[in-house]
Each structure stands twice: as C-alpha cells, then as structure tokens.
Structure 1
C-alpha cells in the first residue's frame, strides 16, 4: 500500500454525490497559480483527533497542515458525539475519539433543511452520545481548530470504530517508519540490525537483547528525559498495559513533569503508545 500520494484502501460508505468526502488526486480542477496550492493534489487520510490537534502549518501562509511530516488536506475520523449545537447557518458537533476532542462544523443547506420531504432528510442523523464518521478539512480560525465537514454520518457497524483506528495507525507507521516492506527487510537483516536505510547513522540495535525482542534504539538526538522514560519502560517488569507515568517517575527518579515531556517526545517519534489511558505507555515494537 502506498500512502504517500493518496489514501484509497477502504470504502467508507460516504454517499452524497459531489459532496462526498473522498478527494483523490485529480478529482478537482486546479486553481490558477497565484500563491494558493492546487486542490488537485488533495488526499484523504484516516487520522485520530490528537493528530489533528498536533498538526502544524509548514509555513505561516500555508493553507494546509502537516501530520507526521506529510502534507494533509482531506481527513476522515471516527468519534463519539458529546454535544450538538444548531445555529442558523451550521450545525456544530463536538466529537471525542479517546485521543482528543474537536469541533466539526457542517454548513446547512437552507432549502434542504426547510423541506422535511427532501431525500437528504431521510438519511439517519447523528445524535448525541452516538458515534459518527466525519469527512472534511482541518481549519483554524482565531487560533481555534475545527473540521469543516463535507459529510458526517452515524456509525451503524461498531467494528468500523476499530478498523478506523487500525487504519490510522497503519498510515502513521508508514510515514514515521517507512513502508512495511522496509520493516520486513530490517527484520530479515538479523544480527546486523539495520533498519533498511530508514535510520540515519548507526542503525544497529544496542545489544543482543534488543535484537531478539525487535525493540528499536532511540534516535541519536533524543533528549535525556526521553531516554530515561524509554529505558525505564524497557527494563521494568510490567503487564501488557505498560507503565503509568507516576510509576515511571518513581522508578527512574525523574519528576512527573519531566516524565510527561519525555513521554510526549517518544510518542511523536513513534517509539511508545498509550494503552489504558493517556498516561500509561508501552513500547511500540517493530
């Protein structure tokens, strides 16, 4: 699967004609050159809300965001609706997917909204505390982020929640570690521990224990806090749920603030992941 140019693995069931959420390269006409980017380069990427919150502009004038170092335009995600607010021109949904909370705005078609017999009003509607899938574009206004949605629809098969998170994880790993083929080649390298050219400098695993377990070494530029957190998780007895940050602080002698800073760095590097809550981490093996 090649996620670098577009994302088209799963059919999400977005129906709505021209307002559908799956925008692929060439699906829209390009705008004249004049500083604005071409919408013909749009892609559709599955994400978590935390990724949307952490996304950044590559430069001050950019109209798009970067996630995992890759340009991101159209996104899709799944979450539970915590609140619905109906305004004159739009409906605002507040969605929570367990990694964060973000507002989703859907603009109202006045003609459709006012006509109960319109076919568009016969479709199932998202409800508070229910789950929904969103297709849209991440936007920022007055330093507050929201998603301008093309479509939002209620989740009817709850398996969709799980496979969405798996797809978002697969794409995240693709951009942070490289394609699966490179990882397979790295494992096949055995004793030399090379990461198929994905790591710069000395890519060998640090010792035979790391070779056997498949745990990657930290990048050379990792901070002291990140190294302390990573080493503590790696060497401490634990269940499959990992270690809570307060436990890491006790075992390592670090203060909680330093542990939290190190944990955030490790998550951004794709070295650890959260388990039972946002403060409990485990090492993400190769």
Structure 2
C-alpha cells in the first residue's frame, strides 16, 4: 500500500495529532491482577464483536473495559463504513467488520478535514485508532485517528494480528528464540520479554518488525527499540538525531518529518512533551 508502514496507523495519538494516545491509565479489570495490568498492550488490535463483549466494570468509567481480563486502553480495528454522518465539530461513522456493527466518532480539525477523512464515504474500508466509550448503555468508539485502507492485505493482516494477540495473552510467548523473534509486536510482546530472549533474537525481532520501513524511519524505530529509555520516558529529538545521523543522510528537518509520519502510522508516540518519543510496544 502507499503508506510506508505496513498497516499500522497513527496509532497513535495522544490526543494531538490524531494518533496514539500516550496512555489512558491502567486500571485493574474485574478479577484481574497487577501482572495483567502491566502486560496490557498500549494498542490492542480488536474486532467489533470483541468490543461489544468486552467486560465493563460497574460505574460509568470509560477506561474500565477489559478483554480476557486484560485492561483495554487504546484499540485499533479495520472495518467497512456503512454510513457517514457529518457534523460541525465531528463526524460519526457507522462501521462493520463482519463480526458486528458499532459507531465511531472522530472530532474534526484542519488536518483531518484535508486528509483521509475528506475521502471516506459509504463503502470505504478504514483503519481506526481510538478508545471504547459508553453512553446511555451504548458502546461506541472515540476515534483519535481514522484513515483509508488502500491495500486489501491490510484487512487480512489485521485479522491475523487480532488472533496472534489473543493467543499471546492466553498462552504467552514461546520459549524458543525463533518464536520470540517472530512474535507480533502490537500485542503483549513487551520490551522485557525481548530482552530476556537474548541479543540474537532481539536483533532478529527488531529487524523483522521494521524491515518494511525506509530510511530514516527504520533507523529511528531501531534506535528507539535499543535505547535504554524505551518504555521509560523515551528519547528527545536531539538524542534521536545524534543517534542516527552517522547512519543516515537525512537532515534534521527530514528526521522531524519522519517522526511525524511514524506518529501518524502508530509506531511511536509522544511521552513527556511534543519533542520526546517512545516506541509503541
């Protein structure tokens, strides 16, 4: 597909910039444990049926959803648009993915109006990143980012990603290096699990995860993956530039642009401020 990232959106949005939400907290799910909260993925691939059946703690807290006992923070899904309801400040989409239907609301800003959102119509296939909300006992998605899917393989990729993540949560990572190296990175594969696997599988895992990216995007992700601050505050722009400048011909402006694009694709997110980044695990 045209996007340099194989199928992951901006995932991102911390609020600003329409992508990965840095973190919405990690409340324990009903009957869950501290270990399960710690293992909750930053971005969970899901189906609509999973959202409709997700456990919800008593009360009206939107962040108290969980799937299989794992707190649901930020989610991503691929679905077909059934209808578009435009508004002055937001657009509401009725979507389905063959497992169910749900509404998704995306708030408008100048960038979104000029971007993919302007071209999304009934029948479009989209990837959405956001959070699950409930109002008047009806569940919906608060979409931080929505973009067109232009490669049919992304639909199949997402289904496989959902299944792989479910299996990881239920059975854990395999004990052999090959299994660890090949494990999907969007689920519960944490930095700690890869660190435990040993240097050779760490290198293999990083390479297999970012091999599709061009320079400097791949170099940025590999630098963050190997940086001591991964998962602990991230690295600022200056540190990233200094870390990859000897490997890339890109100047500071090109690296800054690459960081924005990686944010939009859901591979990295802002941590302490708008100039500090960390890798989505």
Taking structure 1 as the reference length, the TM-score comes to 0.48
Q: What TM-score, normalized by structure 2, do the two folds share?
A: 0.49
